[in-house]
Structure 1
Amino acid sequence: MAKEFRIQTISVCDTIRIHCLSCIFGVWVIFKRLAKGVWNSQRLTNIQPRDNPPSCLVDSRLGQHKYVKLKGEKFHYVESGSKERPLILLLHGFPDFWLSWRYQIPVLSQQFRVVALDLKGFGDSDKPVWRSRYQINRILEEIKDFIHALGVSNCIIIGHDLGALIGWYLVHQTPELVNKFFAVSCPHPNIYWQNLSNTCNYQWLNFVQVPYLPEIDALKEDVKIIDQYYKHLAPNDVYLEAYKYAFSRKDDWTGPINYYRKLPFLRINEGAGNISTTVILITGNKDQLVKLEGIVKSTEYCDKFYLKMIDGTEHFPHQEDPENFNKVIIQFLIGKSTSVEKDMLQRSSSKRIMQGLLGAVSTTVKYGNSVIDNVQKKTNCVVSSIPIGLSLNYNQATSK
């Protein structure tokens, strides 16, 4: 199938539905904010001035801070490791920037050339305000040009959250550009948008379609949204302050939010075929922002995949438990040890994978009941149990 048809827009009815809901949620949020303002206006407008960057943002020990200009857009990135080694491109999530990978850069750069990119609109990269500058084809073309500007024709991509979502589109559109793709805390795009319907993210997704207001809302109560996302960081943590510095102005939010003003209207064409690139899906078993069932269902779009849960972590496994997260990454990059091979469980179908993985989740307090009920409906109430933390792999080509 031609590349231009792999990514398609949603139907007119679904588009109208999103815009109608955005109006409803916009009015609701305005009313709620005004009601709060009557009781405590200072709480809504209290923003601490942040004119100087925290030391961790100017420290070069993690790598060299560099810039490149591509077709009029300036991109900032941090690079570490020898240029003679294979390239790993790190793509952060929302709301985040290159600092997200502070625990991975030193470890991976010992054996790889590591580049942590600030996506357009984030960090020190350019922050255009127009939504048209965040068209998915433009974003993918810029990442392709960026990789080529680094002097290589392909690389390994590790993406978290929004960065992984963009990575999914990239491996569908230009699979020859990606040797291996690690999707952290993010299901396949066609699954991603479906799995928002039962969470508060669904309300937020519709709310951000409204112009201007979401950016102002994000700044309320001294950028409280950062505290809500990074609950694993202590209140006085230097990295928490670094995030608040990076998102302390209205313009710091327009670009990031514009991704969510464009991407919900896109899907991968179901007739585009499966991803030929090896995909490693990594998720925390306590993630409240992403449904585990959605991570598992994403494997249906992959010819070859591995799935790994980082036990005890939520939406930021690479920050919450960097030691175990890095071990998982290294195992899949450098090669499988004997212990890893024993830990792998061959499955003959994606249906059996869902049964096993969600059976494991049934042993956890938070996810057990709700997930198992959902899976039983899909598997005729047949759910098997396996130990928590088990890695799963599946190669459709060899299972036939």
Structure 2
Amino acid sequence: MNSQEWENKGFYIKAFNKEVFVIDAGNNKTNTLLMLHDYATSSFDYYKTLEKLSKHYRVVLIDLIGFGNSDKPLDEYFTIIQQTDIVLETIKILQIKKLTLFGHGYGAHILNEIIVRKNLEQIELSIEKFIFCNLHMKINPAKITFSQLKTFIQIQKMPIAMLSSVGIYKKKIKELFFNSEKISDNELEQMWNLMQKKSGNHVINYFSNYIEERNTFWNRWYRALRNSKMAIKMISSKDSPIALPEMSEIISNEIPDNKILWINNSGHFPMLENPEELVELILKDRK
């Protein structure tokens, strides 16, 4: 699979005057699974899981604004709030009435914001379940150790360096895998091609804005998780250097009736490193 073949699978829609790349696969018209990707990647992350999941769901993949094949505005930072607006508008355009939402990393923060709006009854969309994968978010400082905080700060610096060249990008992405041999040079090159497309590598200039946004809204999102009465599933990698297991446990304990589903021997990208196991956990307890 290369980036051009991936683009050929999808199409473009206009949402609030932004061009959004979408892949819409599967014949199940009653059960939709919408999947959102992490920072500095794209919907290409899910190319190993798409075929199997589309046997059970109508699977909708979106390149968030600033990433992959979607619009990459270089003169403005696109906030999580705006990304959420785009995602909800895309759902509306695709006439999706009922769905399960899956978010990985950055995409999981968009799920956080949707939960806020759902709790406040600002959206009428029927959501069967929220699935968080390797959610890494700021939490109550009183519940985090100094070593965890130090690791969190180091992680925040990584994207600033990783998009300076294809060589550094490959190196940094490999560091996020438990077994770096499970990601090929070809896959890394396709991920890089999608990131730098439309001068997208310059989007990283706004990473500090993203960190500031997380610092500003963490309590809003954290409180929404605690107060939510909707079905929430957490999937976490035991060996993710970003979504630390200790932090995942703290977050999970704040969510009513929640239990983490762990993926062993997996880094931050289980959809690329352990796709079959991830698919199994997504489908687990599916209605």
Does structure 1 conserve the Cα–Cα contact (< 8 Å) formed by 2:166 and 2:189? no
Alpha-carbon distance in structure 2 between the residues aligned to 1:57 and 1:249 = 10
User: What is the 5 A alignment of 1:53-68?
Assistant: 56-59=2-5, 64-68=9-13
The residue identity in structure 1 corresponding to 2:196 is S
SS in 1 for 2:285: helix
For structure 1, which runs of at least 5 residues remain unmatched after alignment?
1-54, 209-213, 335-400
Change (3 A) 1:73 1:315: same
Residue in 2 aligned with 1:280?
Answer: 233
Does structure 2 conserve the Cα–Cα contact (< 8 Å) formed by 1:277 and 1:304? no
Q: Does 1:309 align with 2:262?
A: yes
Does structure 2 conserve the Cα–Cα contact (< 8 Å) formed by 1:310 and 1:325? yes
The residue identity in structure 2 corresponding to 1:304 is D
User: What is the 5 A alignment of 1:179-258?
Assistant: 179-187=128-136, 189-190=138-139, 197-199=149-151, 201-203=152-154, 205=156, 214=160, 217-231=161-175, 232=177, 234=181, 237-248=185-196, 251-255=199-203, 257=207, 258=209
The residue identity in structure 1 corresponding to 2:72 is K
SS in 1 for 2:286: helix
Identity level (%): 20
Q: Does 1:87 align with 2:35?
A: no
Of 84, 102, 107, which residue of structure 2 is paired with 1:163?
Answer: 107
SS in 2 for 1:304: coil
Of 54, 57, 69, which residue of structure 1 is paired with 2:14?
Answer: 69
Q: Report how far residue 180 of structure 1 moved.
A: 0.7
User: What is the 5 A alignment of 1:3-42?
Assistant: none
Q: Does 1:326 align with 2:272?
A: no
Larger C-alpha radius of gyration, 1 or 2? 1
Alpha-carbon distance in structure 1 between the residues aligned to 2:56 and 2:251 = 30
User: What is the 5 A alignment of 1:248-397?
Assistant: 248=196, 251-255=199-203, 257=207, 258-260=209-211, 262-269=213-220, 274-334=227-287
Alpha-carbon distance in structure 2 between the residues aligned to 1:108 and 1:221 = 33
Alpha-carbon distance in structure 1 between the residues aligned to 2:189 and 2:166 = 11
Deviations 1:321-357 (A, max 9, x none): 11122111112324xxxxxxxxxxxxxxxxxxxxxxx
Alpha-carbon distance in structure 1 between the residues aligned to 2:154 and 2:269 = 22
CA-atom RMSD in angstroms: 2.9
Stretch of structure 1 that moved more, 238-247 or 219-228: 219-228
Q: Report how far residue 181 of structure 1 moved.
A: 1.0
Does structure 2 conserve the Cα–Cα contact (< 8 Å) formed by 1:276 and 1:302? no
Alpha-carbon distance in structure 2 between the residues aligned to 1:264 and 1:302 = 20
Stretch of structure 1 that moved more, 236-245 or 140-149: 236-245
Residue in 1 aligned with 2:81?
Answer: 137
Does structure 2 conserve the Cα–Cα contact (< 8 Å) formed by 1:284 and 1:309? yes
| TM-score, normalised by the number of residues in structure 1 | 0.60
Deviations 1:188-211 (A, max 9, x none): 55369x866221x51463798xxx
Deviations 1:274-320 (A, max 9, x none): 12221111111112222212111112442232311111111112221
Alpha-carbon distance in structure 1 between the residues aligned to 2:102 and 2:238 = 19
Alpha-carbon distance in structure 2 between the residues aligned to 1:205 and 1:287 = 14
Change (3 A) 1:304 1:150: farther
Change (3 A) 1:319 1:207: closer
Residue in 1 aligned with 2:63?
Answer: 118
Change (3 A) 1:325 1:207: closer
Q: Does 1:107 align with 2:52?
A: yes
Q: Report how far residue 230 of structure 1 moved.
A: 3.1
Alpha-carbon distance in structure 2 between the residues aligned to 1:274 and 1:59 = 42
The residue identity in structure 1 corresponding to 2:150 is N
Change (3 A) 1:221 1:111: closer
Does structure 2 conserve the Cα–Cα contact (< 8 Å) formed by 1:226 and 1:243? no
For structure 2, which runs of at least 5 residues remain unmatched after alignment?
none
SS in 2 for 1:286: coil
SS in 2 for 1:244: helix
| TM-score, normalised by the number of residues in structure 2 | 0.81
The residue identity in structure 1 corresponding to 2:24 is E
Alpha-carbon distance in structure 1 between the residues aligned to 2:84 and 2:136 = 18
Change (3 A) 1:301 1:68: farther
Change (3 A) 1:263 1:123: same
The residue identity in structure 2 corresponding to 1:238 is N
Alpha-carbon distance in structure 1 between the residues aligned to 2:140 and 2:199 = 30
The residue identity in structure 1 corresponding to 2:192 is K
Does structure 2 conserve the Cα–Cα contact (< 8 Å) formed by 1:92 and 1:100? yes
